[in-house]
Structure 1
Amino acid sequence: MATPNPDRRSERARHAILEAALELCQEHTYGGLTMEGIAKRAGVGKQTIYRWWPSKAAILLEALQGRSSNTLNFPDTGDLRADLRSQMTQVVAAFTDPMFAAYSKGLIAAAQSDPDIANAVVTSIIKPRVDLCIDRLTSAQKDGDIRDDVDLPAMVELLYAPLYYRLLLHTRPVSEDQVDTILDLTIAGCGA
Structure 2
Amino acid sequence: MSSARSSSGNRLTIDDWLQAGYAILAEEGIKTLKIDRLCTRLKVTKGSFYWHFDGMPSYRAALVQGWRDLRDEDRSQIETIGELPPRERLAQMMASLISPRHWTLERAMREWARTDETVAESVRAADRRVLAAVRTAFEDYGFDAEDAELRANATFAVGIGFLHLSGRTPNPRQAAQSERFLELMLAR
Does the 8 A contact of 1:18 with 1:63 survive in 2?
A: no
What TM-score comes out, normalization by structure 1 length? 0.69
Q: 1:12 to 1:134 in 2, by over 3 A?
A: farther
Quote the residue 2:148 is aligned against: 152
Query: In 2, distance between residues paired with 1:128 and 1:90?
Result: 14
Identity %, equivalent residues: 14
Matched with 1:175 is: 174
**1:21/1:59 contact within 8 Å kept:** yes
Matches of 2:32 and 2:121 in 1, distance apart?
A: 22
Is the 1:20–1:41 Cα contact (8 Å) retained in structure 2?
A: yes
1:102 shift after superposition: 3.0
Q: Any idea what SS the aligned residue of 2:127 has?
A: helix
Residue of structure 1 equivalent to 2:49: 45
Alignment-derived partner of residue 113 in structure 1: 115
In structure 2, what is the equivalent of residue 14 of structure 1? 14
Structure 2-normalised TM-score? 0.70
Aligned to 1:126: 127
Aligned counterparts of 1:151 and 1:177: Cα–Cα separation in 2: 24
Q: Which amino acid aligns with 2:187?
A: A
Contact 2:64 2:119 in 1 (8 A): no
Separation in 2 of the partners of 1:36 and 1:153?
Answer: 46
> Could you say which residue in structure 1 is the equivalent of 2:187?
188
What root-mean-square deviation, in Å, do the aligned CA atoms of Structure 1 and Structure 2 show? 3.5
Which of 82, 93, 98 aligns to 1:92? It is 98
In structure 2, how many angstroms separate the alpha carbons of the residues matched to 1:18 and 1:63?
A: 9
* Distance across 1 between alignment mates of 2:131 and 2:175: 20
Query: For this pair of structures, how many residues does the alignment match?
Result: 171
What corresponds to 2:5 in structure 1? none
Cα distance, 1:20 vs structure 2: 0.9
Answer yes or no: is the 8 Å Cα contact 2:113–2:119 preserved in 1: yes
Gaps of 5+ in 1: 1-9
Where structure 2 has 5 or more consecutive residues not aligned to the other structure, the ranges are: 1-9
Q: Which amino acid aligns with 1:37?
A: R
